[in-house]
Amino acid sequence: MTTDPITDPITDTTTHTPEIRSTTMQLMHEELARAQMSARLGEAQSHQRGNRLAKAQRLSRRAERAAAKARLALARSL
């Protein structure tokens, strides 16, 4: 059985109908959108990690200052 490229565009590899082109372009656009969203998600997660690290460093410095202040107060009371 032979296939006609006009009536059976799925098996035809040389002639692309507008419908196949449209579907292919749609899939390409969807793939590009997914890739861009994935990149943006990665950037957002990286930014969040940086913010958490900066906050942890600030809290650590604050705790160190409080501990030093407590040691000084204890030394003065003796």
Q: Could you tell me where the DSSP H helices lie in the chain?
A: 18-77
Q: Where are the chain's structural domains?
A: 20-78
Q: Phi and psi at residue 65, in whole multiples of 5°? A: -65, -40
Q: Quote the radius of gyration of the chain (alpha carbons, Å).
A: 32
Q: Are 20 and 9 in contact, with CB atoms under 8 Å apart?
A: yes
- Hey, is 73 helix, strand or coil? helix
Q: What is the pTM of this model?
A: 0.56
What's residue 19's pLDDT?
75
What is the spatial distance between Cα 47 and Cα 65, in angstroms, rounded to a whole number?
27
Give the whole-angstrom CA distance, residue 8 versus residue 17. Answer: 10
pLDDT (mean) for 11-25: 69
Query: Which has the higher per-residue pLDDT, 5 or 24?
Result: 24
